[in-house]
Structure 1
Amino acid sequence: MLSGILERVLPASQLRTPDNLVQDLDLSAGDSRAKRSAFWSMLTLSAVIAAGGVLTDSTATVIGAMIIAPLSTPIMGIALGIVRQNQTGAVRTVVLGCLLVIGVGVVFSVVVPAGYDLMKNDQVAGRTSPGLLDLVAALATGAAGAVGLSRRDVAAVLPGVAIAISLVPPLVVVGVCLGKGALWLAAGAAVLFLSNLLALVFAGMVVFAASGHGIPREARDTRSGSRARLVLGLLFSFVFVLLAANTTATLLVEVWTHRAGQAADRWVSEQPNASVTSVYTASRTLHVEVRVEEEPPPVGALLTDLRGRVPDQLRVVVETTRGERVEAGSVGG
């Protein structure tokens, strides 16, 4: 049954030869000087485009940077190198490429005004809190990319893969956040990139091995192969734990925010023409925005209702449409 599925996904009549794949993914094969020149030129340009898109909060510009970014080439080269047990220098290229993109982000961070709230930028906020679903999507995207590289007849999917897998934008976000001293946000974006990188490598290894691009069993260096799989497995486990923890934290925040919204509705229900417009949590602070025509009700009643429903360490801030801001203190008093 498995062989039948593989034959449908990777038909022998459409598979590219190992030499063709090496020519595409190994920057040291063939005309390495031209390949490296194209790689570094396009990576630099894509980083600049991504930085501009992130700082202007332009989704279209960021997508453009994704399409032309060549970083997936050496990453897939890592997968092929592990399967074929070849030393290609792809790891070094990926590391240097990451440092280049992060550096571009740091340089562009100087144009961000002091006091600018990075989390109000959707391009930043969307890449600093990855979860398990991001990893699942990255695995599927990596598989699609590897299949597209392995088959001659589906190369048209590769631009879509470039858009679906986020490589350069999160690295730019890492640089921007580092430049502004937002270390936790930078760490979140770095985890997103690392999860995408590992997903590409893992999916690429599976597909390339299934495509017959690996070396014969009798010619394998079992010690070298086991070492590579062990390192990849440890990194994958580490990222999985981080993403699982962040997913759990995100779900808890959503539960607490929902409970806070219900408490806030009860808090303003007895005041005529008063309503809650927004409740959100950011940086251990619960923000409650209300529409009122006069003074809001005493915030002590809100804090009392929140006790036992949300963590005591959460601070509560009430903001009104009249421009008032009330620091209510922590839920636990």
Structure 2
Amino acid sequence: MTSPQMTILGSGAWGNTLGYLLERSQHSYKIWNRSSLQSLESVTAEADILISAVSMKGVRNVISQLQQFNLKQNTVIVTATKGLDLETTKTPSQIWQEAFPHNSIIVLSGPNLSKEIQKGLPAATVVASNDISAAELVQTIFSSDIFRVYVNNDPIGTELGGTLKNVMAIASGVCDGLKLGTNAKAALLTRALPEMIRVGIHLGASKETFFGLSGLGDLLATCDSPLSRNYQVGFGLGEGKILSAILENLEGTAEGINTTNVLIKLAHKKQISIPIAYQVYLLLKGKISAQEAVKNLMARELKEEFWYIEFN
């Protein structure tokens, strides 16, 4: 069987890591970014699999360029971007699907810290799509001795798990920056999951997906690792640093900041309760201190732990 032609869009930390994984599974590929000498058209014209690892703010621009070319209808598009579009509140896969309705769209998401994978440490991820055969193809391509890939048919849930946990990673970093201890951190992460599920269900995701690798798995990895940029942002805020100063020294983009802004907009429109994300939003906007955010969460109305409306 001929190896499919693959192109990675975006050569940041995640794009290069995906390239490393393809090499690990003995596949060749092309990689493109805005500074590439090769044109976007030349590297995508014959692509059988297109892997998007661009930042959320770059997704629409790349799609707009691609729509000017004749992308093959049988090209499988894999989106590995975690975020929400500020203008439309849509996920990357929804934007890709609208732009290329005849192409199979695959979501790749999981507890995948780039620096650990680049060291050859083992990890697992999820590829999700409404086209299971296309997802299984991507599963086979990325699977290797250090990378185990699972398939599911809930792309929106898989995508939202990886996106919403970035907001919770900021909150987790705040918790550690304030040195609140293990009890507080455990309580925060336990309550973070139903908040993510609540949003997911409103947007058509399956509740079960959030208990998998792209939900709980990614939440645990990102909320407890200094390698996470979103965690670093929260940690700095917990220490009393100014957001602009934190971002100056940050390697890459902390997608959780933009996601928080979009999530607040989305929750207001759909009347979704997101108490943790709301406090993160106020903190990022400089309206409250980290200590006030914790105080506000602790002062919320008392209720049963498994209140039925949590998941409705």
With the shorter chain as reference, the TM-score category is under 0.3
Which of the pair is proportionally richer in helix?
A: 1
Q: Which has the larger radius of gyration?
A: 1
Q: What TM-score comes out, normalization by structure 2 length? A: 0.24
